[in-house]
């Protein structure tokens, strides 16, 4: 006589209770969590006031035209200068704004910024005009 072996069916667990628990956990974490978008970094906003208007009056602007002529503008006074005399004119200045012609080669602008940095200017702002 042959023995008959029963085919065993694979046991499949019921996932319904597991899904219920996952949804309950999801709802719990959504209710408990606080969303603070500024907690990851410290944000320091600049102060505005009378000091900023005083700095604008003392600001220097270096203008470079398409023929590579340099003009130093201090407030309303503008004078033509040469690249060699740039360090003498800007002895005690920390920041300057450069306004360059749009069609000027970048090589001239990079050399000018390098010269200003070597002369001790810490902050250089760059603007282009047509």
What pLDDT, on the 0 to 100 scale, is given for residue 28?
94
CA pair distance 101, 98, nearest whole angstrom: 10
pLDDT in tens, 25-65: 999 998 888 776 656 667 677 776 655 444 444 578 888 88
Q: For residue 34, what are the CA distances in angstroms to 12, 24, 29, 42, 43?
A: 39, 18, 9, 18, 19
pLDDT tens, position by position, 4-23: 776 777 778 889 999 999 99
Question: What percent of the chain clears pLDDT 70, i.e. is strictly above it?
Answer: 82
**pTM value?**
0.52
CA distance linking residue 26 with residue 107, whole number of Å: 58
């Amino acid at each position: 006589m042959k023995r008959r072996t029963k085919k065993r069916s694979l046991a499949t667990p019921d996932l319904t209770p597991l899904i219920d628990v996952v949804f309950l956990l999801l709802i719990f974490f959504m209710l408990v969590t606080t969303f603070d978008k500024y907690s990851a970094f410290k944000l320091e906003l600049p102060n505005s006031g009378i000091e900023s208007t005083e700095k604008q009056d003392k600001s220097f602007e270096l203008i470079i035209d398409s023929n590579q002529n340099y003009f130093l503008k201090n407030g309303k006074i503008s004078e033509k200068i040469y690249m060699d005399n740039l360090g003498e004119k800007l002895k005690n200045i920390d920041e300057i704004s450069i306004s360059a012609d749009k069609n000027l080669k970048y090589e001239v602008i990079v050399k000018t910024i390098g010269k200003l940095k070597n002369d001790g200017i810490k902050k250089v702002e760059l603007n282009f005009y047509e």
